[in-house]
Amino acid sequence: MKSSLSRRAALAALSSGLFSLAGCGGTQLGESTAPTPTPTSPAPTPAPAPRATRTYAYVTNSGSGTVSIYHVSDGGALIHVGEVDAGRNVLSVAIHPSGRFAYAVNDGDNTVSAYTIEPATGMLTPHPTGPFVTGNQPQQMRIHPTGKFAYVGNFADGTVSVYSIENDGRLTAGDTVDVGTFPSGLAFDPTGGFLFVESDDRVTSYAVNTDSNPGELTLVNSAGTGGLPGDVAIAPSGRSAYVVGLLTGEVMVHPIDASGALGAGTSVPAGDSSHAITIDPLGQFAYVANFGDQTISVYTIDQGDGALLPSGPGAIATGPQPGSVAISPTGQFAYVTSRSENSVHVFTVNRTTGRLQPLGAPVPAGTGAFGITVVGIPQ
């Protein structure tokens, strides 16, 4: 999502924004004969009971340099837990697949703040060796599905910083990869075999090496997007990439073949200053935040070819300057930050159409509420 100082200036101008068989005994000559036991298979091992989870929301407050923490109730309400300091112009939060660690990306400090997560409360404790240095104006962090590597897009450098994630959550810096002008949006395909990076007027596919040189990125190809994208997401099938256009007000849908290569895109209308896209965790719907016209565009995802089908009639009104959208793990609720309102708008999700219905009043957040991440943490 384009949220650095320079991108925010552009937005403001645009919006002015994972047997055994029982033994059979034999007999010897002269021994009495007993019935031969019938071979049986052991009883199947019961499946482990699912681990209980608690759902939390983490909101980045770009103006106040903090992360607001909320417990998400069964009814979808946000219950404020507390705040934690991050860095200047904190934009987004990434959660480790284990649910043990959280990372906040600080555009103004060129760092990533790391935290351990308290499962019972969702509170964040700063990592003793952090924060960790990135490139210039980091925007977004993505963690590999294995939990072993992390990638940060650096908007002003035109690079992606690669890190190994240690068992205690520390980040160890690895390669820095040149990816083109103004990168910010990054997304993995479902297998973690490919990382897709949007930058300037293109989206680029990289193969992820998890063997000989762990975390290494190898270029596959690029596809043009029409100018200054805002974010990228990948269809649950892994067969389509969705790139939102900050200046074009559209979503470009690019096919992805088995080698990870991107094909030419087709355009789907969105809204004014479209800059962030979120895929429903159940894989049915996509949501685009339109900074300029204060709306959320809703799409149904074709489960065959990954096409986006707009869910009518029209976009969903939300608070001013919507920063990002998050969907609860159950798919029942949606949360949209409002940057200039310093709040989070809560919605219920129609599981047939994907449409959003407001649920209660906006929830207060910190100054410049922008990124939001909603996640279930194992207890």
Instruction: Work out the percent of the chain whose per-residue pLDDT is above 90.
Output: 79
Residue 148 φ/ψ region, left for φ over 0, alpha for ψ in the -120 to 50 degree band, beta for the rest? alpha
* Mean of pLDDT values over 235-262: 93
Distance CA 129, CA 369 (A): 27
> With bands split at pLDDT 50, 70 and 90, how would you rate the model's confidence at 152?
very high
**End-to-end Cα, the chain, rounded Å:** 31
Distance CA 379, CA 371 (A): 25
The better pLDDT of the pair 260, 2 is held by 260
> With bands split at pLDDT 50, 70 and 90, how would you rate the model's confidence at 29?
very low
325-336 pLDDT, tens digit per residue, is: 999 999 999 999
CA angle 334-335-339, nearest 5°?
150
Q: What's residue 360's pLDDT? A: 95
Q: What's residue 85's pLDDT? A: 98
CB 50: neighbour CB atoms within 10 A?
7
Q: What's residue 16's pLDDT? A: 34
Examine residue 350 and state whether it is found in any structural domain, yes or no. yes
Distance CA 255, CA 242 (A): 9
Examine residue 101 and state whether it is found in any structural domain, yes or no. no
> With bands split at pLDDT 50, 70 and 90, how would you rate the model's confidence at 23?
very low
* Mean of pLDDT values over 371-377: 98
68, 144, 128, 87: which is closest to 363 by C-alpha?
68
Ordered DSSP codes for 89-113: TEEEEEE-TTSSEEEEEETTTTEEE
- Domain holding 216: CATH number? 2.130.10.10
Distance CA 7, CA 14 (A): 10
The better pLDDT of the pair 7, 108 is held by 108
Examine residue 151 and state whether it is found in any structural domain, yes or no. yes
The pLDDT of residue 347 is above 90: yes
5, 39, 45: which is closest to 24 by C-alpha?
39
> Which amino acid is located at 349 in the chain?
V
172-199 pLDDT, tens digit per residue, is: 999 999 999 999 899 999 999 999 999 9
Q: What's residue 200's pLDDT? A: 85
Q: If you average pLDDT over every residue of the chain, what do you get?
A: 88
Examine residue 36 and state whether it is found in any structural domain, yes or no. no
> With bands split at pLDDT 50, 70 and 90, how would you rate the model's confidence at 201?
confident
Domain hosting residue 243, numbered range = 126-368
Q: What's residue 211's pLDDT? A: 83
Question: CA–CA distance from 182 to each of 132, 175, 202, 218, 238 (Å)?
Answer: 21, 18, 10, 19, 24
Domain count, the chain: 1
pTM for the structure as a whole: 0.87
Q: Which of 43-52, 308-317, 348-357 has the lowest mean pLDDT?
A: 43-52
Examine residue 89 and state whether it is found in any structural domain, yes or no. no
* Mean of pLDDT values over 148-174: 96
Examine residue 118 and state whether it is found in any structural domain, yes or no. no
User: How many residues can be counted in the chain?
Assistant: 379
The pLDDT of residue 164 is above 50: yes
Examine residue 280 and state whether it is found in any structural domain, yes or no. yes
Ordered DSSP codes for 290-318: ETTTTEEEEEEEPTTT--EEE-SSSPEE-
Given a contact cutoff of 8 angstroms between Cβ atoms, the answer to whether 106 and 130 are in contact is no
The pLDDT of residue 244 is above 60: yes
**What's the token pair of residue 237?**
């099938």
Q: What's residue 203's pLDDT? A: 95
The pLDDT of residue 58 is above 80: yes
The pLDDT of residue 87 is above 60: yes
The pLDDT of residue 36 is above 90: no
378, 311, 305: which is closest to 351 by C-alpha?
311
Given a contact cutoff of 8 angstroms between Cβ atoms, the answer to whether 91 and 230 are in contact is no
Examine residue 313 and state whether it is found in any structural domain, yes or no. yes
* Mean of pLDDT values over 311-327: 94
